[in-house]
Amino acid sequence: MSEECCGPDEPRKTRTIQRIELTRPRAAGGACCAPEPVHNTVPTQAHEEGDACCGPALPSKGSRGDDEHEVRPPWWRDVALLPSVLSGLFLIAGYALEWAGIELLALVLQWAALLAGAYTVVPGAFRRLIRGRLGVGLLMTIAAIGAVLLGHVGEAATLAFLFSLAEALEDRAMDQAKEGLRALLSLIPETVRVSRLAGDTTIPAADVRELDILVVGAGERVATDGVVVEGRSSLDTSAITGESIPVDVCPGTAVAAGSVNGASTLRIEATADGRDNSLTQIVSLVEQAHARKGDRARLADRIARPLVPVVLIAAALVAVFGFIVGDPATWIERALVVLVAASPCALAIAVPVTVISAIGSASKFGVVIKSGEAFEQLGTIRAVALDKTGTLTRNEPAVVDVRPAAGISRAELLTWAGAVEATSSHPLAAAITAAAPGAAAAADVVEDAGHGITGRVDGTLVRVGNARWLAPGALSSAADEMGEDGMTVVVVEAGGKIAGLIGIRDELRPESAETVRLLQDAGIGITMLTGDNERTARAIAAQAGIADVRAEQLPADKAAVIEQLATARPTAMVGDGINDAPALATATVGIAMGLKGSAAAIESADVAFTGNDLRLIPGALAHARRGRRIMTANIVLALAIIVVLFPLALFGALGLAGVVLVHEIAEVFVILNGVRAAQRPAALRARAATPEPARV
């Protein structure tokens, strides 16, 4: 029962609503063409870079079906993994036949393994080379070619297989993180009733234009941003703003696309087209954030960039030196040994083996990490932004305080209120009836949308409503006190006299304060973001122990705050609602709480928790930091092997057999060290042994 709704005699408010502004370039000449309908998938690069249209497109009716949405197959049916699998099988069979003395067939299978592995590595390496980008793929390709020229096809096949598998697994993880945002777009109805001179008519939501009058019935969603021009009701805006308490609306109140209407029909004047409103722009914000994050190079590639040209130049100089001294055969062979010595075999698996071990272990205690990049970034986090509704709180409004007037008992007050609210569809009614489960339904119930409800209980006229409709009188100071504590105050009147007050609030999770303390003890800064009003936000934050509070935040505001925080230090955003999606995508790492959260939040996040226990957050951060340390140690070891072998190969101290032996030993150490990342940190072992706090 929001206090922002105007009274019946107040003038109509200005016909504006806060909008998310995009920086999408317009087409040449400054004109914006009519956007074309798109499927419910993240746009391709070609679509994003196009300049034909300046606004995001909304799917038209008929484009929402799952039949038109590409779904990523399970790993055992993913054809992208097939070359790596075949390469591994051919390689194992080839080595087995070689050990059995069947040389020719073994060589054929090793060549098959080499070609299958190279199929996923070599084309990409050359495409990147054409674009002027050097990476691990190019170095692996050159090393494999060098091994083949020296007659060691099995070694070349091993290099190709290891790198091919690492690439395939990481690409699959990234694809999972970029799947469509169908849940966001599903909040917009396919059709909407529009008031015309000849009567109400139904049109596609995408055809709504500014100044159209929308007719929104009980339980229906608002198709686009607008202003109420007729009717009073309550709107569930939790999916858009994150506010857990329904908002009462009346003529002049601005409403956002995607809000769910309550019990009464509203007429809303559109302030935005059906294709270009606050909800469609949320989709665009998420897409843009994903596009920015997709360009970040992986850690191994960043290391390989300076390594590749150094190795190539060194090998070329060695070969040239052979011609200068008159012994080209010896020095050309030595140059190829140098290439193999510098092959990033251990480097190629240093990161994937650690990431796969850590991610697999994390999934067992309820932390789903979507990609290697997300895991790497999770270990750097120094600040955490927490959404309030559904994350810090339970998102279940409940009666938390009852203040009966003199001569009225608590049970009597709740019974009166529960009886009147028993048949109401207002979301706050559920909290009141839950507090008075034995109350029989009142008679002659009449609901006054935006104000309250009236009924007769055992012959007594009882009214239940907000403080604007029913003045608290002698309980005014108590009402103010409850409001300062973040409660929505419901006034109960019986027989023409104020019977008492009922305070309703979305309560803090039992583990929230402990989680905040654990994060602060680890030196991590905490910020709370919420669409709720300042007073409620401050009250909840004080209970949780959070000092930095940002209230009344729309989705774009949350994304802006996260961008500001992430500029100063790596920042994680934790949320569970559709309104959190842009912030989750903008953060260094987005963490979605609970698989029962919105699909958009889970798809936008880099990490998703299968449960709702907040204590997973500090545990997951500790797990990622430990894995990052192991990953760094692996990279250092892999680079150290190259640094040691390079001069030994250069000066002929080691031949190809010795170089390969050292490489294989290094790989074993890297793998064993990487597997250690699967061990749970102490915080998560304690978390696994402690059940979630019981709900009261």
Own/partner long-range contacts of 34-41 (Cβ < 8 Å, ≥24 apart): 35/275, 35/276, 37/63, 37/206, 38/63, 39/63, 39/68, 39/69, 39/180, 40/64, 40/68, 40/69, 40/180, 40/181, 40/182, 40/185, 41/69, 41/70, 41/179, 41/180
The DSSP line for 311-379 is HHHHHHHHHHHHHHHT-HHHHHHHHHHHHHHT--HHHHHHHHHHHHHHHHHHHHTTEEE--HHHHHHHT
Tokens for 604, please give them: 């936008």
175 classed as catalytic: no
Containing 51, the helix (H) or strand (E) segment is none
The Cα 204–Cα 677 span in angstroms is 52
Q: Residue for token digits 């006299």?
A: 497
CB-based contacts of 167-172 (< 8 A; 24+ apart in sequence): 167/120, 167/121, 167/124, 167/137, 168/80, 168/81, 168/83, 168/84, 168/120, 169/81, 169/352, 169/356, 170/298, 170/352, 170/371, 170/372, 171/80, 172/72, 172/75, 172/78, 172/80, 172/81
Query: 172 φ, ψ to 5°?
Result: -65, -40
Beta bridge partners of 571: 383
Half-sphere exposure (Cβ direction) of 554: Cα atoms closer than 13 Å: 14
Q: What is the DSSP string of 200-217?
A: EEEEEGGG--TT-EEEE-
Q: What does the block give as tokens for 95?
A: 């080595």
Phi-psi region of 211 (alpha: psi -120 to 50; beta: other; left: phi over 0): left
DSSP 536: H
Q: Is 103 exposed, middle or buried (0-12, 13-18, 19+ CB in 10 A)?
A: exposed
- Residues 34, 553: Cα–Cα separation, whole Å: 31
**Is residue 413 within 8 Å of residue 501, measured between CB atoms?**
no
Residue 563 three-state SS: helix
* CB contact at 8 A, 314 and 650: yes
**Phi, psi (deg, nearest 5) at residue 371:** -155, 165
List, in sequence order, every beta strand (DSSP E) within 343-470: 367-369, 383-387, 393-404, 443-448, 452-457, 460-465
Q: Which two tokens stand for residue 570?
A: 């790596």
Q: What are the Cα distances from residue 262, in Å, to 111, 130, 251, 552?
A: 68, 59, 15, 22
Radius of gyration over every alpha carbon of the chain, rounded to an integer in angstroms: 32
Kindly name the residue from 225, 273, 276, 387 that is annotated as catalytic.
Answer: 387
77 C-beta neighbours (distance < 10 Å), count: 9
- What residues have CB less than 8 Å from 368, skipping those under 6 apart? 362, 607, 608, 609, 610
Element spanning 665, H or E: helix 656-675
In angstroms, the first-to-last Cα distance of the chain is: 24
Compute the distance between CA of residue 439 and CA of residue 417 in angstroms, rounded to an integer. Answer: 9
Count of CA atoms in the C-beta half-sphere (13 A) of 170: 25
| Cα gap 319→677, rounded to integer Å | 42
What's the maximum distance between 2 C-alpha atoms anywhere in the chain? Answer: 116
Cα distances (angstroms) measured from residue 235 to each of 38, 139, 534, 636: 29, 59, 19, 57
Catalytic positions, please? 387
